[in-house]
Copies of this chain bind each other. A is one copy, B any other.
Amino acid sequence: MMKKVIQKKITMMKKVMSKSNLKLIAVLERTGGFASAQELHQILRREGDGIGLTTVYRALQSLVDDKIVDLLRREDGEAIYRLCGETHHHHLVCKSCGDTVEIEGGAIEKWAKTMAEEFGYRDVGHTAEIFGLCSKC
């Protein structure tokens, strides 16, 4: 089932999504966590969808542009994608099993803002992730 947020965004933008975009959203929703373009492509293929890798990349790109999915990087530099939640948040990721917890980063927002001001930087964004071993691993 489609998240309300996403639904709202789709409506707001009055932009019809291509089939591929919708498929990608569906998979990302089903899987929950982060996944790379290659992985998403494999999942779809495994399910019998003949979608092309090119299309997967294109769809993900457009979803990122529309702020519908988050893009971040694995340690090896590979891009990984995830549906955006309602609010800006950060992640606590298990480096063994990949399990992810969404966490609040109020302290980070403040820190980023303060630092940017102090050094005269404008238009700032930030990344902050925590990696460790979850209780199961």
Verify A92–B107 contact, CB threshold 8 A. no
Give min CB distance, A82 to chain B, whole Å.
Answer: 16
Q: Distance in Å from the Cβ of A137 to the closest Cβ of chain B?
A: 9
List which A68-89 residues lie within 8 A (CB) of chain B: 73, 77-79
Contact with B along A38-81 (1 / 0, CB 8 A): 00000000000000000000000000000000000100011100
Asked if B116 contacts A107 (CB within 8 A), the reply is no
Give Cα distance in the complex from A120 to B94, angstroms. Answer: 11
Binding site of A, secondary structure by majority: helix, strand, loop or mixed? strand
Q: In the bound complex, how far is the Cα of B107 from the Cα of A115, in angstroms?
A: 11
Closest to A78 in B: B77
Closest chain B residue, CB of each to CB of A107: B111
The residues of B that contact A78 with a CB separation of less than 8 Å are 77
- Chain B's nearest CB lies how many Å from the CB of A70? 13
Is there contact, CB below 8 Å, between B135 and A121?
Answer: yes
**Known contacts A107-B110, A115-B92; A127/B124 CB under 8 A:** no
- 22 CB contacts below 8 A, A to B, read A73-B73, A92-B116, A92-B119, A92-B124, A107-B107, A107-B110, A112-B130, A116-B132, A119-B134, A119-B135, A120-B134, A121-B130, A121-B133, A121-B134, A122-B132, A123-B133, A124-B132, A124-B133, A126-B131, A127-B129, A127-B131, A128-B128
